Structure 1
Amino acid sequence: MRVYPNQLAAQLTKLKSVYLVFGDDPWLADNCKQQILTAARNQGFDERITLDTQDTGFQWSQVEQEFQAMSLFASRRIIELHLANAKPGTDGAAMLQQLVAHPTPDTILLLMGPKLGMDQTKTKWFKALDAQGIYLPCTTPEGAQFQRWLVDRIRELKLKLNRDAEAMLFNLYEGNLLAADQALKLLKLLANEKELTAEELSHYFEDQSRFSVFQLSDALLENHKSRAMHMLSQLKAEGTAMPIVLWALFKELALLLKLKSAQEAGTNLNAMWSSLRIWDKRKPLYQSALNRLNLLQIEKMLAVAANLETKLKQQGEEDWVGLSHLCLLFDPTAHRQLAHIEVC
């Protein structure tokens, strides 16, 4: 059963035999793990065994032995298993299915690993475990979801921040829950229960937000210029290789070109979403871009991207100014205002 991290507390009154904590956000994954461990200890699960599939000499038979072993110290135990690459392999998949086919009320399996793809959640081993327990996808919240997380965390820590201070924290730490939580805990120590302003926060923190090229792509498709410029600046500051950013933009522009060409030819786009691997959640992003950009503008953007790639490959020049120019062109007004500027 899929349960989101913010819903976990309500699910821990009666413990399940399996918990699947998968995702790339370290704060969310650790927070879920600690909630489960605390609830388990409170209900008599006093012994904890930790195994990692990456450890030298690890054998899946160890997991089976731990499930069958009688505890020397407690009648109930938690087996925490870290699954590298979220792939148990043939032997591991068979073993996990075998174990959950005969659950015991005295043993909890806590399985942890990186983010799962849709194909992995459709495997037999995952479905078998999910049917017996709770799956917690620990994906970093973005935009309004991150803002809700931030407000909730501020409330939990009983901090007092005015709206400008909250907005500053949002801009500083979106995409990095771990840094945001550390910052809030520091404020808890420093604030001494007084209300904090944005000006006071500026003395404490540096910009530590973390973004991926995929988040940048989404912001551009939605025409969130200031957000996209902030992300691009952060990607550069974090040392993200420019070819990776260019690859992401080329990918989106190539998709937009196919969709726009089909649209102008009178083709029903509903038949194209699946073939282009554009899922329901992302359709509105592309539709937004298609509604404001014409075919000529998209072709112009691809030409700019090609010029940037040529400079990079032939001259070894990372033109981040030109890349900023390209990002601005996702807004059609920029095509008129920047038409006199050539990226070459």
Structure 2
Amino acid sequence: MRVYPDQLLRNISPLPQCCLIFGDDPWLCEQSRSALYQVAKKQGFDEKIQLTQETGFSWNELIEQWQAMSLFSSRRIIELTLPTAKPGTEGSAMFQSLMQMDNPDVLLVLTGPKLAAEQTKSKWFKSLDAKGIYVPCITPEGTQFQRWLDGRITHYALNVTRDSREMLFALYEGNLLAADQALQLLQLLSPTAPIEPEHLSQYFEDQSRFSVFQLTDAMLTNQQDKAQHMLSQLKSEGVAMPIILWSLFKELTVLFQLKSAQSQGGSIQSLWSKLRIWDKRKPLYQSALQRLTLEQIETLLSKSSTIELRLKQQGIEDWTGLSHISLLFDARAHKVLEHIALD
């Protein structure tokens, strides 16, 4: 039976004969094992035997452990790691044989990397799955990651604002371990107070001399020398590119909404409060609105999306591309640079 990690606790009482924990996400794998072993301990499984299918491994050792009497407790766990998730012919036969010998005092736990679809259709997998549960530990993406992140924020009882949630999403999508560690840090630093993006910048930018907020402010006001210097400094200090892209997209999206309303002949006065733009920041946007056309802002959004896509899909940090985008905040640069592709 397939059970996802967040459903595990609801499906292991009583414990099944075996549990298969496979996947490439280390945080989910570790959390699943931890939850399983906590429940097992409460049900009297106090001893754990760890085996690994490596060079020289004998499958007879598994059956011997299955049939042996425990020296320390009445019930025990046998954890077998399959580094390639391929037990082979002998291992497949052994699993099928073991599942014909019910032993309520033994819990078999198999761990390993992500299983391919054809592996879940194999005889060895089906024989184990019929007597137990399969926990696929696959890193959630997109809306699934957002749900996971919201769940962990609730778990740590953090007061995180909407903008900060978006920032955390951009920073940590694809890395649950780092995300959870960051939330633990926030619990220590700000257990009750609202957590704003500015706080996240302070916590996670490694005490940079310049912040991403100063960078985007320089872009909005077309202070090119200052913006290029900040980009170079942020790169040298190891600031994560996703946090820069998050801030850039946020400002460009606001700018696009304001310019769209302006282009349609409407007033942007009502948008200031709706977009949560305070008086001291209005001159920054007004400067960009006077300088850039709607089409130029769309170009900035498009090129920013290209950089983000390359980062997420190929792991490429295109700092030259960010420098190029900064220059395009100057309307005059569009005639010279707009045709240059960021690839």
Tell whether 2:295 aligns with 1:232: no
User: In the alignment, which residue of structure 2 is the partner of 1:290?
Assistant: none
Q: Distance in 2 between matches of 1:343 and 1:168?
A: 24
Judging changes above 3 Å, is the alpha-carbon distance between structure 1 residues 343 and 41 closer, same or farther for their aligned structure 2 residues? closer
Would you say 1:9 and 2:9 are equivalent positions? yes
CA contact (8 A) 2:140 2:174 kept: yes
Aligned to 2:25: 25
Alignment of 1:7-156 (within 5 A): 7-54=7-54, 56-156=55-155
Alpha-carbon distance in 2 for matches of 1:45, 1:224: 56
Instruction: Specify whether residues 158 and 339 from structure 1 end up closer, same or farther in structure 2 by C-alpha distance, changes over 3 A only.
Output: closer
Does the CA-based 8 Å contact 2:2-2:133 persist in structure 1?
A: yes
* Aligned match of 2:202: 203
SS at match of 2:48: strand
Q: Percent identity?
A: 51
CA gap 1:202/1:320 in 2 versus in 1, 3 angstroms: closer
Partners of 1:152 and 1:227 in 2: how far apart? 28
Change (3 A) 1:158 1:209: farther
* Conserved 8 A contact 1:164-1:198: yes
CA drift at 1:57: 3.2
Q: 2:194 & 2:342 partners in 1: Cα distance?
A: 48
Aligned to 2:190: 191
Structure 1 residues 152 and 15: alpha-carbon distance in aligned structure 2, compared to 1, 3 A threshold: same
Aligned-partner residue type, residue 21 of structure 1: I
Deviation (angstroms), 1:234: 5.6
Give SS of 2:84's match. Answer: helix
The Cα RMSD (Å) is 3.0
Q: Find the aligned partners of 1:103 and 1:209 in 2 and give their Cα distance.
A: 53
Deviation at 1:229, TM superposition (A): 2.7
**Residue correspondence of structure 1 range 161-176 to structure 2 within 5 A:** 161-176=160-175
Shift of 1:10: 0.8
Indicate if the aligned counterparts of 2:158 and 2:191 stay in contact, CA closer than 8 A: no
For normalisation by structure 1, the TM-score amounts to 0.64
Answer yes or no: is the 8 Å Cα contact 2:160–2:194 preserved in 1: yes
Distance 1:170 1:227, change over 3 A: farther
Contact 2:48-2:78 at 8 Å conserved across structures:
yes
User: If the length of structure 2 is used for normalisation, what is the TM-score?
Assistant: 0.64
Pairwise CA distance, 1:97: 1.0
1:12 to 1:209, Cα distance in 2 relative to 1, 3 A: farther
Aligned 8 A contact 2:24 2:137 in 1: yes
Amino acid at match of 2:136: P
Q: Give the Å deviation of 1:86.
A: 0.5
Amino acid at match of 1:12: I
Task: In structure 2, give the amino acid aligned to 1:91.
Answer: E
Of 198-207 and 88-97, the range deviating more from structure 2: 198-207
Residue 197 of structure 1 and its aligned partner are, at CA, apart by 0.6
Letter in 2 for 1:194: A
SS of residue in 1 equivalent to 2:97: helix
Gaps of 5+ in 1: 211-222, 243-317, 326-337
**Unaligned 5+ residue runs, structure 2?**
206-238, 243-300, 326-336
- CA–CA distance in structure 2, aligned partners of residues 127 and 84 of structure 1: 19
Contact 1:173 1:209 in 2 (8 A): no
Distance of 1:108 and 1:170 partners within structure 2: 37
Asked if the contact 2:303–2:342 (Cα under 8 Å) also holds between the matched residues in 1, the reply is no
CA 1:146 to 1:340, structure 2 compared with 1: closer, same or farther past 3 Å? Answer: closer
Distance, in Å, in 2 between the alignment partners of 1:230 and 1:96 is: 45
Specify the SS of the correspondent of 1:34: helix
| Number of residue pairs the alignment of both structures matches | 240
- C-alpha deviation, 1:101, in angstroms: 1.6
State the secondary structure of the residue aligned to 2:56.
Answer: coil
Amino acid at match of 1:62: E
1: CA distance between counterparts of 2:193 and 2:152? 17
Separation in structure 2 between the aligned mates of residue 342 and residue 146 of structure 1, nearest angstrom? 31
Cα displacement (A) at 1:75? 0.7
CA positional deviation for 1:203: 1.2
- CA pair 137-202 structure 1, distance change in 2 beyond 3 A: same
Deviation at 1:92, TM superposition (A): 0.8
